[in-house]
């Protein structure tokens, strides 16, 4: 079984997220999503519109996602890859090069983002209306 792992906040879930998760799952047989905790988002200067539990429930409802784990810090990625026996780590291509340090542990693949959609754009439009 080829295991894939990805990370993110996945706030205001949208079709760009769904497409990214579908493509991530297509890289293997089992998809693990490490979902940023509310506390970690706060450390990153982010505030999710929905709680970790709500975002986790949404991700678990997506058929491409097999397991949702908690992301609490930047440093846990190597341990997550080892613990969950991930063969592939994938992220959006706006992170190109940032996770190459994982190459000794797994294959690193950067996927293209869906143009013209983001959680920030959605939050901005909702706030403006």
Active site residue 77: no
Q: Considering the candidates 46, 47, 56, 77, report the single residue annotated as catalytic.
A: 46
Active-site pick, 44, 56, 77, 98: 44
Both tokens of 50, joined, read 């929905």
Secondary structure letter of residue 37 according to DSSP = P
Token readout for 52 is 């970790």
Tokens of 92: 């959006």
* Tokens 């879930």, residue located: 13
The residues near 124 (Cβ < 8 Å, ≥ 6 apart) are: none
In the residue annotation, 44 being an active-site residue is answered as yes
- What is the C-alpha to C-alpha distance for residues 98 and 7, in angstroms, rounded to an integer? 13
DSSP 102-117: GTTTSEEEEEPPPTT-
Give catalytic residues, as residue numbers.
Answer: 44, 46
């Amino acid at each position: 079984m080829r295991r894939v792992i990805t990370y993110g906040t996945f706030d205001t879930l949208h079709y760009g997220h769904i497409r990214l998760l579908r493509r991530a799952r297509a890289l293997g047989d089992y998809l693990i999503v490490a979902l940023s905790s509310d506390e970690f988002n706060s450390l990153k200067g982010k505030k999710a519109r929905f709680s970790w539990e709500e975002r986790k429930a949404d991700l678990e409802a997506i058929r491409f996602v097999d397991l949702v784990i908690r992301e609490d810090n930047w440093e846990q990625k190597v341990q997550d890859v080892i613990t969950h026996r991930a063969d592939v780590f994938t992220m959006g291509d706006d992170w190109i090069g940032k996770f190459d340090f994982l190459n000794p542990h797994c294959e690193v693949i950067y996927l293209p983002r869906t143009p013209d959609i983001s959680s920030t754009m959605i939050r901005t439009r909702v706030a403006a209306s």
